[in-house]
Amino acid sequence: MNQSFIRDQMKSFILERGLKAGDPLPNEQELMIQLGVGRHPLREAMKALQAVGIIEIRHGHGTYVGQVTLQSLEDGLAFRMSQSMAGDLRDVRNVLEVRQALEVGLAEEVVAHFSGAGFDQLDEIVARMESKASAGEYFPTEDWAFHEALYEPLGNALIIDLLSVFWRTFADVDARLPGARYTPTDAAGWHRDLLNTLKTGHPEAFAHSMKAHFVGIHTRLA
């Protein structure tokens, strides 16, 4: 019996019983009986499921349904991007394009949510960006905080999770990209423009500003 079959059986077991993250799973002997599999292939399948977060093995306590994260996606993207840095940069471009497509595509929802109010947090973040830029400093913490503040009110945690994966994997290679890096002043200016167009309440203007926000990085990858 191959590993993929046992993994599928375990996933079906969890889904059919409506188990949630943190719920306990039967012990090894019970799973062997219920799934009709041997100890060794079951253990190997469980290790594979643990690696992607579907289950959590707490040694000395038992096995539980895991809190599935995007860590395996992030690890895979980070590795591919590191490989790409030594080659044609294609995967670096691809990650950037996916992130851009997601953020530009959300422009209408973001503008609709803010609809002329609730800009205090974004104003404060951009002000901190400009303060650091005036001192010649980059501001990665504020950069992510700005984008998180845009999308968190939409109530879709997966959007935040995906964007954080793209943001972190790109941030890891940003300083090593070819070409002249944009200045802190440039970066602060892009975010000020994003905030200003958001305040206008026009989705097309905001989407255009979001595209412009990525120009400095695209130029380095040309």
Give pLDDT, residue 130: 98
Q: Are residues 46 and 121 in the same domain?
A: no
pLDDT tens digits, 83-97? 888 888 888 899 899
Question: For the stretch 48-79, what's the b/e string if a residue is b when 16 or more beta carbons lie within 10 angstroms of its beta carbon?
Answer: bbeeebbbbeeeeeebbbbeeebeeebeebbe
Q: Are residues 55 and 84 in the same domain?
A: no
Give pLDDT, residue 67: 82
Quick one: average pLDDT of 75-84? 87
Its domain, for residue 57, covers 3-65
pLDDT value at 65 more than 80: yes
Is residue 105 packed enough to be buried (19+ CB in 10 Å), middle (13-18) or exposed (0-12)? exposed
Confirm if 181 and 220 have CB atoms less than 8 A apart: yes
Give pLDDT, residue 1: 58
- Chain centroid to CA 191: how far? 20
CATH of the domain at 206: 1.20.120.530
Quick one: average pLDDT of 99-120? 92
pLDDT value at 172 more than 70: yes
CATH of the domain at 23: 1.10.10.10
pLDDT value at 150 more than 70: yes
Last-in-domain residue among 65, 86, 107: 65
Last-in-domain residue among 18, 43, 65: 65
Percent of the chain at pLDDT > 90 equals 55
Last-in-domain residue among 65, 95, 110: 65
The rounded distance, in Å, linking the Cα atoms of 129 and 142 is 6
Give pLDDT, residue 71: 80
Q: Are residues 125 and 203 in the same domain?
A: yes
Give pLDDT, residue 220: 83
Q: Are residues 107 and 157 in the same domain?
A: yes
The lowest-confidence range among 12-21, 151-160, 176-185 is 176-185
pLDDT value at 189 more than 90: yes
Quick one: average pLDDT of 87-113? 93
Q: Are residues 111 and 203 in the same domain?
A: yes
Q: What count of other Cβ atoms lies within 10 Å of the Cβ of residue 47?
A: 12
Q: Which residues contact 142 (CB under 8 A, 6 or more apart)?
A: 125, 128, 129, 132
Quick one: average pLDDT of 96-113? 95
Is the entire prediction scored with pTM above 0.85? no
Q: Are residues 39 and 113 in the same domain?
A: no
Q: Which phi and psi (to 5°) does residue 186 adopt?
A: -60, -50
